[in-house]
Amino acid sequence: MDRLISWKKKRLKISNKMSRYQNNNNPLTTVITTLINQILTLKNFNFNGKYFIQIKGCAMDTVAAPSYATIYMKSFEEKYIYPIINSEYLFHSRYIDDIFFTYTGGEAKLIEFLTNLNTQHDSIKCDYETSKKSIAFLDTLVYVDNNRQLQTTVYTKPTDSHNYLHFQSAHPKHLKQSLPYSQALRIRRICSENSDLNTHLEKLEKQFKARSYKNTLVEEQIKKAVTINREDTLKLTDRLSTNRIPLVITFNITFPPANNIFITVGRSYDLRPT
272 and 208 in one domain? yes
Q: What pLDDT score does 67 carry?
A: 82
Predicted structure pTM score: 0.74
- Quick check: 37 and 7 in contact, CB under 8 A? yes
HSE-CB of 134 using CA atoms within 13 angstroms: 12
Q: Name the residue among 190, 128, 179 with its Cα closest to residue 153.
A: 190
| 135 beta partners | 142
* Full DSSP string of 18-46: HHTT--TTS--HHHHHHHHHHHHHS-EEE
272 and 165 in one domain? yes
Cβ atoms < 10 Å from Cβ of 85 = 18
Residue 94 lies in a domain: yes
State pLDDT tens for residues 79-100: 888 888 877 888 888 888 888 8
pLDDT 10s digit of each residue in the chain, 274 long?
233 334 445 555 555 655 565 555 666 777 777 777 777 777 777 888 888 887 777 766 778 788 878 888 888 888 888 888 877 888 888 888 888 888 888 888 888 988 998 898 888 888 888 888 999 999 999 999 999 999 999 999 999 999 999 999 988 888 999 999 999 999 999 999 999 999 999 999 999 999 999 999 999 999 999 999 999 998 888 777 778 777 777 887 787 777 776 666 666 555 555 5
Domain boundary among 154, 174, 206: 154
Q: What's CA 119's distance to the chain center, in Å? A: 27
- Quick check: 201 and 184 in contact, CB under 8 A? yes
Domain boundary among 124, 154, 184: 154
First to last CA, the chain: 50
State pLDDT tens for residues 39-63: 777 777 788 888 888 777 776 677 8
Domain coverage including residue 26: 2-63
Q: Is the dihedral of CA 36, 26, 73, 240 positive or negative?
A: positive
Residue 57 burial by Cβ neighbours in a 10 Å radius (0-12, 13-18, 19+): middle
Residue 240 lies in a domain: no
Q: Spell out the alpha helix ranges (H) of the chain.
A: 2-19, 29-41, 65-80, 82-85, 107-117, 173-190, 194-209, 215-226, 230-233, 258-268
Residue 242 lies in a domain: no
- Quick check: 140 and 190 in contact, CB under 8 A? yes
Residue 54 lies in a domain: yes
Angle subtended at Cα 154 by Cα 153 and Cα 155, rounded to the nearest 5 degrees: 120
Residue 99, phi-psi category: left (phi > 0), alpha (psi -120 to 50), beta (remainder): beta
108 and 21 in one domain? no
- Quick check: 210 and 164 in contact, CB under 8 A? no
Residue 241 lies in a domain: no
